[in-house]
Chain A
Amino acid sequence: MIPALGLVVGIVVGVLLQPEVPLWLQPYLPIAVIAALDAVFGAVRAVLDGIFNDKVFVISFLSNVVVAGFIVYLGDQLGVGSQLSTGVVVVLGVRIFSNVASIRRHLFNA
């Protein structure tokens, strides 16, 4: 509950402050956000499965963000940045959808 409140507060603060994203972070932030969302949905699913662990959540969150950023960086270096970014987004999107489906089955039996 408190992390969910933290998410809402973060969004509100971001909307109010209208921060300028630093240049070096601009290519990585969108992918990092998607990766973090994947970690969040994975965490909710773990809660419902009864196997949630704070430490696992924190580590998976951070590793998702770092790996996503690294993949984008690598793709840009190899000249396939846009294709690799699309690939990462697709993979994370699929994972998010499967997590959401699992959550749905847990909560609504549907």
Chain B
Amino acid sequence: MSTQGHDSQRSWRRLRRAGKPRPTKGTVLATLLALGLGFAIAAQVHQTSIEGLEDLREDELIRILDTVDQDGNRLAEEIQALRLSRDRLQSDTTSLTEAREAAQQRLDSLAILAGTAPAKGPGIVLTIRDPENRVTAPLLLDTLQELRDAGAEAIEINSIRVVASTFFTDGEGGISISGTEVSAPYVVTAIGDGSTLASAMEIPGGVTNSVRSVGGEAGVETKDEVTVSALRSVSEPQYARPVPSSTTS
């Protein structure tokens, strides 16, 4: 034990003696080397803290590259799928807009046919004066037929819209159109090609002649724009049902 204590003291003494500054060439060299070592340690610690992939080995880099590749492929597939669904949604929107426009056009023409929308355009105003009250329903119906034959698209008589279901009956002191009594003078407004309609009214044996033959008077005015503003409400058909059709028109 005492010998060991002695050894220890001798070692400490040696350490202190070595620690004394001795400006020899060896000390200077050793100091330089130690300086370089310290610098290298600090540099390496710093480098390790900042570097990401650079100190990784080849197999680790390959693994990371594989992962990145897989991620890239997955994301590319996702982009593809999203792009597809975007295109599909866009074309859906486009076809939806087209379908809506077509439906709107159809609705407009059907509304004019059914008399649920006012219409305007070139046409004629036919005024039938009947002082002797001898114009009958069949004569008015003939007038209507002549107008339709000449291509009239929208017709009203004394502010009553004439549609497919309109009917004429003779009533007390006048004519009943679809159940509504009207009396002379009868003012027929028709939209169509003005000159065709006017000539259809005035042909020999036509409406003008017929009215004149019963003692009335018919005047035709051709106008660039007439308005058929009378409306007719459409009631739901009680018996008729549409037959499902496979063809789309």
Contact = CB atoms under 8 A, between A and B. Distances in A.
Bound together: yes
Given A14-B43, A107-B15, A61 B26 contact: no
B40 A32 contact: yes
B6 to A, nearest CB: 10
Contact of B34 (A6, A47, A52, A54): A6
Contact of A109 (B5, B25, B35, B36): B5
A1 interface: yes
Contact of B47 (A3, A21, A43): A21
Interface string A28-69: 011011001100100100011010111101100110000000
A57 B18 CA distance: 13
A9 B38 CA distance: 7
Contacts of A14: 38-43, 45-46
Contacts of A5: 31
Contacts of B37: 7, 10, 33, 36-37, 40
A13 B42 contact: yes
B40 to A, nearest CB: 5
A20 B47 CA distance: 7
Contact of B21 (A1, A33, A61): A1
A54 B43 contact: no
Interface in B41-70: 41-48, 51, 54-55, 57
Contacts, number: 132
A81 interface: yes
Interface string B2-25: 001101100110110011110011
B107 interface: no
B31 to A, nearest CB: 4
**Interface-central residue, A21, A48, A61, by most chain B CB under 10 Å:** A21
**Interface-central residue, A7, A52, A107, by most chain B CB under 10 Å:** A7
A106 B9 CA distance: 9
Interface string A64-91: 0000000000000000011000000000
A94 B216 CA distance: 134
B213 interface: no
A62 B29 CA distance: 11
Contacts of A40: 34, 37
Contacts of A13: 35, 38-39, 42
A109 B4 contact: yes
Contact of B24 (A15, A27, A54, A109): A54
Contacts of B24: 54
Interface string B95-110: 0000000000000000
B47 A7 contact: no
7 contacts: A2-B21, A3-B27, A10-B36, A11-B38, A19-B46, A40-B37, A107-B8
Given A32-B40, A109-B5, 9 more contacts: A3-B34, A4-B19, A9-B35, A10-B37, A29-B44, A36-B33, A36-B40, A48-B15, A109-B4
